[in-house]
Structure 1
């Protein structure tokens, strides 16, 4: 048969030659360029990060994080490679001679022959792969390592083992990582060794009764012994893990810590299993001399059986036959530990719970006078009036206000504090008249000015009374740098400072230009930097554009959250940064938290769920999304300069051990609290996200009596927002006076309902003024269960169902106008509770809301007027008073009679005394005493009702 490649009758001869030298050179050049391009892309991420951290002044954060990751990657990667590589090498070294091979070994011979020339490369390849994987896994534990190596003492010990809290927060997570790494290394080494032994005949599994050579038996037994020894260590650490273990419990949804069954069944079981595992590990090591697996296998089986019986069945028996018949008595000591730890971990251990009647017998005149000073009723709702700011103060389409504005407190010219609704006029690239790369990134680079309006006033048209407005800005805030290069809406990069002029602002005389004078960006004069950022932003025009030249800088990571998260990756950032004019600069103020999920006995909460409410939207993200924590502190206050982007972090909680740990890891990144100036201090406030976390915990943990906590009889719930169904009512900033206080203070307030009810259970406020001596002090006013004061949903329902209000609103809504209800504010007033709600009308022609009406309710009275003053005059009439204290409104759903009757005064006093006895009995868990007190309370109420007629 002719050769098809040699010509002849079958066809011409075909020659396949080597590529020419030119082709080989071209291919080699292309390959080299491709490799260089890949390396440059990889280098770009590192280089641009380094340039950015250098530009913002936090190089130490970058270098510390980088070298920590590199160190962990190298150490644990090499360690894993060594474990796997040595076991493969040792198994190969211990292989038996292959004379008189079995059929099983004969079938494996072709595999041995095929890998024989490449054994070293295979060994190196396997070691390299496991090194890369384990190194990358270890590098992700950089936070755990830094907390372990820099951890400081909490100065408090857990009640079960007497260990400092730092052991659980800083040490135990690192020990867990080491243990898991050890398990992974031993298992991989065991699998690799077993495979090599099998391949080379040291381990035979298909012959009757699997056999192993003495060398293979000894090698594998040592590895199994190490595995069991690590299991013993795991049992020992599990003992301490019980203090931070989460579990289900009737008393609370997120129980953490030991219960009766843990302390009396699981804890001794873990100790016994630890001893058994040590013995079992010794038996495995003993096979080096006995060369048989009989005893260690029996020991391992007994360990497994013990784990099932002692670690599983015995605790179930204890729970069923000891705990469940008398659960409250058995769990009371552990409930007490959980309450104390949880209240301390969330900073609510000093929260005050005061009884509050919920009703008032004050005269209308007294109530009317008190209403004027009880609070600065905020009629401007920051969640509603953003479109009004947009319509009245946007000025140009390329500016934008956030959808939710912020509330701050400013001092007026006459020295009074004024609640103010503020927003920055940020750049809006969607509104640029003519889109294009130059316009979007070079010309329209910044916003301009702050707009502020009085929180307590509107003009005759229902629009804000602006105290700072227009372009350039004018008003009460004085002279400051108005250009906003960094903001919540500024999410794309800009190139400034070069030959291309920026649009500053426009007025009747035309457009004004500007060149950025800050130094917060990364210099693009260097061609290497330009190339790196061309890759980073996928924009080749950055390489050759004439708009980039000497002095050009690129600004990115421009939202306050992005900048703070980058320079302090160990902090949890609040979801609502807010702007303030501090001196001659606009600064974003960002609250930051230190957290841990390993505080013994403290119940956990999920931050993302806890901090979501009716005001949470895309603009104002929830803190930390779905992170679970059981310890939180607002330990750092951060400012971000809206012009320069400069980030300054200040130590706020000087006692927080978690912050002290991170400050050791990243020295010179957080400034001392003493460096906070007075002007900045005036604008610091209590953060909403922390307040929302604390209020969620206080629905259960306002109770300090274990018996009362277990029964859940005093449990509260956070009301739904009456205007946005399905969303929790948000807390509100408000300058107000709590009962017993002489003057208003800037506060953060919220309300509670009793569980499964819509009446009001309690009112809560925290002093939010950072300059106050009582800053952070939480006070709750607990209403008596026999007084049915309406809650927010009931008040809103009452407003909606009032015939006069409903009829008037229907008239206002004619012509396709929409009604929007503002924030429903709750204010304690002379023993009762005053509700105030502004009502906005969004006209079809104007398309922005204007305040048209104010509703005020107190007890069973409701007023619907054009102004707040008129509404207060309506519910607190000052004409025709009889002069008795009883002429005032009750503040609840029952009327209070004149107080001149001696028998009535005595009955009222008896009601108060009986209520105190009820609360005291509940706190002490004395149910019989509570029953007697309830009877006294009922008798006193009947006498009071009889005295009132």
Structure 2
């Protein structure tokens, strides 16, 4: 009996080890993908590399074996001289060698197929890729050729060259062995063997020529002309390219005449002549000294003339590679007498959507005011737009996610971590605009989430999000902690479709091994409906499904009447787009925001929607994995209203556009109008501006739309040169516009406006009063709006306590137009004051009174300060009456 138990335990141990090391990951992932409805996709991801390997192994094996058999056939059926009798041992040896052809062909095929196997994904892109409809500006080849075909051609050229060379060596050995094994008096000349080897020799020369032909396209990735421009220039296209053609032609003719010499007994003269030409052409294309000499004495003295066409090609290709070839440029019309109407309904409407809060500052506000329970947190705050009470409002919102690490240490036991504290509770939402010294307006707040503005939904539980969460087993016999009910907690039970079922001991056994947690197997708190939810971080979840997509760093939550959903932007990238320079250290020189990924915060379902159907890379993946990528038209309408152009790609595009907006080759060569990200003040230091979202009616007057903005300045200067913005709403999604300011006029940039604010004696005096011991004055990020005649600057001021508990409050709002700077508790009051200030400056100008220098503000006498304070009180009263 003891032996039986020991044997059973041994068998179980072997079974467990086998399952653990061989099948465990496969089964768990299979169940996980089945829950996503992606079983066929998962199996394809597993099988594709091996299918590629098998395909090329069979292909190369067939090539080897057929040639060996041909050689064997030629030897075996060659007429033998009369009286020749093959020795018995030699016959057996020949038979053994012929049987070895099978094994030898297979081994050689494996050797050359392994590199293709290692590049299986590129091989699939080659098979499924198609034309992009865009041609490179120099050779006229479709961009799809460079993205999909060229990498595989380069790989195959080397592999086929190895294959044919090995094959030729094997065939020559067969013919040599047959000759060596035949007595001299019985040897005959084999014409078929000569032609067989000649064909292989010609084929080798053809493959070598193909390699040199592919070198033409390598010229498009030339870097020798940097930092002026990327790609080939005069030397590459008019000197090196002809040498490449000469190399191809001379090498092919050398091979042809060499074969003729061997088979027809013609002289050595022609092969030697063409081989010498090949040597000269080969050295001419590869020796740097020759190209450098041409560049130094012919190109450099007339570089603009010589390189003009190639500079234009580089600019055009770069704009196309980064999706900037359709930027719409608009000249911002500045006026000498700037006016501002605070009573204009359009002005008041725009002010209601100005985002006076900073996302970074709002994080602590949401944590302190809306976490409510210690085990909830807001990993990020998102900006979006919603229809609230019939108005198109820009808002900030955050997802209230579970954070098990915030539980008291004594409460961090297995049941609490995995069975009870399993999910978050809804979102908190505020309007983007707010006045100083007034209570916070919450569109959605508290637990359970409630709204006085009609923003309710049916499902507020968050099981999947941005926070790292342990696996959860739900529903279970203990119950999960839900929303508060008085002094207690409401117990809830999961009713979704997320995760994988654990309704059998076998599954519990496998999952306990997978998570290395025996409690999964031994717990008695599960039931037949229990499911284990894991990979609950949406980033981890997406990367496990589609590791070939590059993800945006700012996924965001969307509140809908049906539930909560995450939207994650994803990119396709490539590093082999011709002529275009790479983006910094990232390495890629092609990017598209091709995919919008939607993740159900309750069920965890992941859906992929193609946002850029013109992208050839995502189209190749769509064909490769049928059913995974859906057209954007299939996305639910309620979610389509919340898609937005992501900041990451906009930042990348603008860093390229800052230089490549100069489409005129001569201007680009001189680099006379380079731009840079405008500098903005954060604390006491200046940093490059980052993109921000605004709601304005820039495209169609009176129709508010959601835009992404970024200010740009001339390189090395602080004034404003351009205001770039991208559309987010469906009609104008992804369209990029450039508001260019005149180069011959002074237009204040953010850094200069910050200086004007600090030089205003009234405002700086107030700063000193607030910034006393016990409180800290914090400058918010500066917002720039294009308005009539000049850009309008708005900057919030926050006041917070010095200490561990920081709940920033908006104290004042600064508004500036040209060199007029005002400060008020609300945007409406600031607008009235700004109008008065501009009118006063205009009156001074008409009376030809001396004005302050444009970059300084004169010290205001005490009487004027008193007068301005009185005007401020009048402005407040006037604003209240208007409200």
TM-score by structure 1 length?
A: 0.75
Q: What's the counterpart of residue 555 of structure 2?
A: 577
Q: In the aligned structure 1, how far is the partner of 2:207 from the partner of 2:567?
A: 48
Cα distance in 1 for residues equivalent to 2:273 and 2:19? 55
Residue 492 of structure 1 aligns to a residue in which SS?
coil
Aligned mate of 2:501, from 520, 523, 531: 523
Task: Show CA shifts across 1:522-578 (max 9, x none).
Answer: 122244433433333232333333234422222222233333334444433222111
**What does residue 758 of structure 1 align with?**
718
CA deviation profile, 1:776-814 (whole Å, cap 9, x unmatched): 332212122232222222333443455554444344333
CA distance in 2, matches of 1:390, 1:653: 37
Q: Distance in 2 between matches of 1:289 and 1:528?
A: 72
1:386 aligns with 2:347: no
Post-superposition offset of 1:815? 3.1
1:802-857: CA deviations, max 9, x gaps? 55544443443333533332221011121111111112223126323222222222
Match of 1:799 in 2: 757
Q: Does 1:737 align with 2:714?
A: no
2:285 match: 310
2:212–2:248 contact (8 Å) kept in structure 1: yes
Q: Write the distance in 2 (CA, Å) between the matches of 1:816 and 1:77.
A: 75
d(CA) in 1 for partners of 2:114, 2:30: 20
Question: Per-residue CA shift, 1:115-158, capped at 9, x if unaligned?
Answer: xxxx99x9999999998886664334333222222223223333
Residue 635 (structure 2) aligned to one of 661, 676, 689: 676
Tell me which residue corresponds to 1:850: 809
1:514: Cα distance to partner?
A: 1.8
Alpha-carbon spacing, 1:859–1:174, altered in 2? closer, same or farther (3 Å): same
**2-structure distance, mates of 1:887, 1:48:** 80
Deviation string for 1:361-420 (max 9, x for gaps)?
A: 134546987643455221121121111000000011111102x4111101111x111110
Preserved contact between residue 707 and residue 725 of structure 2 (Cα < 8 Å): yes
CA distance in 1, matches of 2:504, 2:834: 71
2:346·2:702 contact (CA, 8 Å) conserved in 1? Answer: no
| Partner Cα separation in structure 2 for residue 273 and residue 339 of structure 1 | 30
Map 1:376-775 → 2, pairs under 5 A = 376-402=353-379, 404-413=380-389, 415-433=390-408, 434-458=411-435, 460=437, 464-475=440-451, 476=453, 477-601=455-579, 603-606=580-583, 626-630=586-590, 632-723=591-682, 728-738=688-698, 741-770=701-730, 773-775=731-733
**Mean alpha-carbon deviation: is it higher for 371-380 or for 463-472?**
371-380
Q: Identify the match of residue 734 of structure 2 among 764, 776, 781.
A: 776
Distance 2:516 2:69 in 1: 47
Distance 1:739 1:58, change over 3 A: closer
- Change in Cα spacing, 1:506 to 1:326, as seen in structure 2 (3 Å) is same
Question: SS at the partner of 1:504?
Answer: strand
1:437 to partner: Cα distance: 2.6
Please give the secondary structure, in 2, of the residue aligned with 1:348: coil
Match of 1:52 among 24, 32, 41: 32
Quote the Cα distance in structure 1 between the aligned partners of 2:19 and 2:272.
52
1:109 corresponds in structure 2 to none
Query: Do 2:427 and 2:449's aligned partners in 1 also have CA atoms closer than 8 Å?
Result: yes
Contact 2:610–2:630 (Cα < 8 Å) also in 1 = yes
Partners of 1:65 and 1:142 within 8 A in 2? no
Please list the CA deviations of residues 644-703 of structure 1 after superposition, one character each: whole Å capped at 9, or x if unmatched.
Answer: 111222233344333333222222222233323332222122222222222122212222
Name the SS of the counterpart of 1:474 in structure 2. Answer: coil
Counterparts of 1:785-824 in structure 2 under 5 Å?
785-800=743-758, 802-824=760-782
**Aligned partners of 2:403 and 2:469 also within 8 Å:** no
Partner of 1:893: 854
CA 1:859–1:458 in structure 2 vs 1: closer, same or farther (change >3 Å)? closer
Identify if the C-alpha distance between structure 1 residues 862 and 280 changes in structure 2 by more than 3 Å, giving closer, same or farther.
same
Distance 2:107 2:367 in 1: 57
Q: 1:61 to 1:627 in 2, by over 3 A?
A: farther
When residues 881 and 78 of structure 1 are mapped into structure 2, their CA distance, relative to the original with a 3 A threshold, is same
Equivalent residue runs for 1:238-249 within 5 Å: 238-242=215-219, 244-249=220-225
1:568 & 1:80 partners in 2: Cα distance? 31
User: What is the DSSP-based 3-state SS (H/G/I as helix, E as strand, rest coil) of the residue aligned with 2:437?
Assistant: coil
CA distance in 1, matches of 2:19, 2:198: 45
Cα distance in 1 for partners of 2:537, 2:15 equals 35
Cα deviation for residue 729 of structure 1 reads: 1.6
Q: Which residue of 2 aligns with 1:827?
A: 785
1:820 partner SS = strand
Normalised by the length of structure 2, the TM-score is 0.80
Tell whether 2:248 aligns with 1:274: yes
- Give a deviation string over 1:324-380, Cα, whole Å, max 9, x none: 121111222222233333333333222222222445513454698764345522112
Q: Is the 8 A contact 1:221 1:284 kept in 2?
A: no
Q: Distance in 1 between matches of 2:23 and 2:793?
A: 60
Instruction: Quote the RMSD (CA, aligned, Å).
Output: 4.6
1:741-771 residue CA offsets vs partner (Å, 9 max, x unmatched): 344321111110101112111111122222x
CA distance in 2, matches of 1:45, 1:722: 51
SS in 1 for 2:781: coil
| Structure 1 residue 489 displacement after superposition | 0.9
- Cα distance in 1 for partners of 2:257, 2:768 equals 86
Q: What is the CA–CA distance in structure 2 between the aligned matches of 1:430 and 1:820, rounded to whole Å?
A: 30
Tell me the equivalent position of 1:838: 796
Contact 1:362 1:886 in 2 (8 A): no
- Name the CA shift for 1:535/1:240 in 2 (closer, same or farther; >3 Å): same
Verify the 8 A CA contact 1:789 1:892 in the aligned structure 2.
Answer: no
Change (3 A) 1:418 1:77: same
Shift of 1:502: 1.8
Residues 368 and 872 in structure 1, CA contact (< 8 A), matched pair in contact too: no
SS of the residue corresponding to residue 836 of structure 2 reads: coil
What's 2:318 paired with?
342
3-state DSSP of counterpart to 1:391: helix
User: Counterparts of 2:407 and 2:112 in 1: how far apart (Å)?
Assistant: 49
Distance change (3 Å), C-alpha of 1:77 and 1:26: farther
1:811 and 1:130 map into 2 onto residues whose CA distance is: 83
Alignment partner, residue 23 of structure 2:
43
1:191, 1:736 → 2: CA distance?
A: 73
Pick which of 753-762 and 546-555 moved more. Answer: 546-555
The answer on 1:167 being equivalent to 2:145 is yes
- 425-434 or 702-711, which deviates more: 702-711
- Closer, same or farther in 2 for the Cα pair 1:774/1:883, shift >3 Å? same
- 1:102-181 paired onto structure 2 within 5 Å: 137-181=115-159
Give the secondary-structure state (helix, strand or coil) at the position aligned to 1:877.
helix
